Structure 1
Amino acid sequence: MIPKGILIDCACIFLGGNLGAALKQAVPKKILDPMNVIFGLSAIAIGILSLIKLSFLPAVILALILGGLIGELLDLETLVKNLFHRLITRFRFSIQGDREAYLQFYLIVAVTFCASGANIFGAITEGMSGDMTVLLSKAVMDIFAATIFGATLGRAMNLILPLQLAILCAFFYGGQFLMPLVTQEMLNDFMAAGGLLTIVLGLNIAKIKQTSAVNLLPALVIVWPASWLFSLFF
């Protein structure tokens, strides 16, 4: 089975990101800042919609706490940031302005496209049933978001695409094997955990509150067994 929804979403991000990079000098900052706020608020709205689908709130909270602790102890943000910095340097993409601020925003954009709840849920759904409605809906927003983000990050944004394709395809093909093992409650709680992560990303994009989204990524793994354990007792 070909992951058509994933390929369409990646293509939209590729087109939007490179269009934004090409228009980088033509887009004034007074437009970029409000648009980032709008996309941040949109991410928060998507996260809230995902969050209300949860089945076991204690499982989601436990996953978030344990995931955050693991992420902080491993300092995942620094590890991923250093990785992207090496890649950007290796491929000779230029970083304009404050390097730390650039890399911080780069990380937020990378997690938004690679590990948001909507993207992963869409990949799993398409893998299980062939329904790519979620990914097509996400692609419509992503092409505009990528254009705005590309105007800030430049063509270095293209380095995110192989990682996004690999992660979403893993969930797409893994979804076919997970189907007999995953209950609807586990899927709901995964969506809720992804929704919380998406809310954190939205707060970062809109510059309302800066919190490490990368360090919360382990929660997306922990929520599966946590939800299963709670389903045994409730």
Structure 2
Amino acid sequence: MFPGIGTLINVLAIIGGAGLGIFVGHRLSRKTRTLLTDVLGLATLLGAASALIPLWSARYVESLPTGWPLLVVLGSLIFGGLIGSALGLEDRLDHLGENLRRKFKASKESPFVEGFVTASLLFAIGPLAILGSISDGMSNGIDQLLLKSTLDFFAAMAFASSLGWGVAVAAIPVALYQGFWTIIGLALGEILSGYQVDAMTIVGGVLLIGIGLRLLNIKQVAVGNLLPALAIAPLLAMLVHSFI
């Protein structure tokens, strides 16, 4: 095997799952597709709850001064949101989705952009994407990415049944994102401590809550603008751990 094969399998799983979902989706009524989207929203919130568990783990709490575990998450989200808003990441993602929608000749009424943005965020967020890619780059096995690929296959199938081809196109940013972490693993080895991974996972869980709220049409949270928080979280955790 070669470095990056785990991400390649993951990309194929997303495309395959989305294709199957679209094939099945045409046979479903609009009411049923809406129900599936609601179910995915609830499942996303459940996944978010799971990602928040490290906030109370001994490894994370004991690595930071008293009172700082939650402040690190809050600070990451605030600074990440400011950076993302200044860069207009949410608008850029929407614009990219619109360009891809036109390229794939999807109708304007189709949920192409929502499918692309939502699936891109969902498939990229989480410790498996980062840890699995780093492990792949270090030639330590692809077990984590195989697990992620299985989960993403069924998620893509469910999402695409109601959100269309945008879900399949989300494989592109996933490939770039995980490819980046694979290169990091290949060049540098393990670069994150356990508590840093926990910080990133917790912030990812908060972003998943935002995605869940969007899917349930409760609140259109600009999750794209919060993406820099994922990069800030491990850095801020390291600074607090080292200097406070």
| Band of TM-score, shorter chain | 0.7 to 0.9
For the pair 1:21 / 2:31, whether they are aligned, the reply is: no
Give the superposition deviation at 1:125: 4.2
| Within-5 A mapping of 1:178-193 | 178-179=188-189, 181-193=191-203
Indicate how the Cα distance of structure 1 residues 186 and 82 shifts in structure 2: closer, same or farther if over 3 A, else same: same
Find the partner of 1:86 among 92, 96, 99: 99
Q: Deviations over 1:133-181 (max 9, x none)?
A: 4333332332222123223343344332222112111112213445454
CA–CA distance in structure 1, aligned partners of residues 128 and 105 of structure 2: 29
Letter in 2 for 1:95: S
Q: Counterpart of 1:216?
A: 226
Offset, 1:78: 0.9
User: Who is 1:76 aligned against?
Assistant: 89
Q: CA RMSD in A?
A: 2.5
Q: Which amino acid aligns with 1:80?
A: L
Higher deviation after alignment, 220-229 or 20-29: 20-29
Offset at 1:189? 1.0
Identify if the C-alpha distance between structure 1 residues 204 and 121 changes in structure 2 by more than 3 Å, giving closer, same or farther: farther
CA distance in structure 2 between the aligned counterparts of 1:93 and 1:146, rounded to whole angstroms: 20
The 5-angstrom pairing of residues 8-157 of structure 1 reads 8-54=9-55, 55=60, 56-89=69-102, 91-97=103-109, 102-128=112-138, 130-157=140-167
Q: Is the 8 A contact 2:101 2:112 kept in 1?
A: no
Structure-1 separation of matches of 2:143 and 2:118: 25
Q: What is the CA distance between 1:230 and its match in structure 2?
A: 0.7
Contact 2:207/2:223 (8 A) holds in 1: yes
Tell whether 2:175 aligns with 1:165: yes
Q: What's the secondary structure of 1:27's corresponding residue?
A: coil
Which residue identity does 2:29 align to in structure 1? P
Q: Is the 8 A contact 1:117 1:193 kept in 2?
A: no
Over 3 Å counting, the alpha-carbon distance change for 1:127 and 1:205 in structure 2 is farther
Which range is displaced more, 136-145 or 74-83?
Answer: 136-145
Unmatched 5+ stretches in structure 2: 61-68
CA deviation digits over 1:100-121, x for unaligned, max 9? x652343112211234454334
The offset of 1:205, in angstroms, is: 2.2
Q: What is the one-letter code of the residue matched to 2:71?
A: P
Identity across the alignment (%)? 28
CA distance in 2, matches of 1:75, 1:64: 15
1:27 CA drift (Å):
1.6
Point out the more displaced range, 15-24 or 178-187. Answer: 178-187
1:228 to 225, 228, 238: 238
Whether 1:195 aligns to 2:196 is no
Distance 2:89 2:28 in 1: 33
Residues 112, 164 of structure 2: 8 Å contact kept = no
Residue 128 of structure 1, CA deviation: 4.8
What is the aligned length?
Answer: 231
Preserved contact between residue 124 and residue 171 of structure 1 (Cα < 8 Å): yes
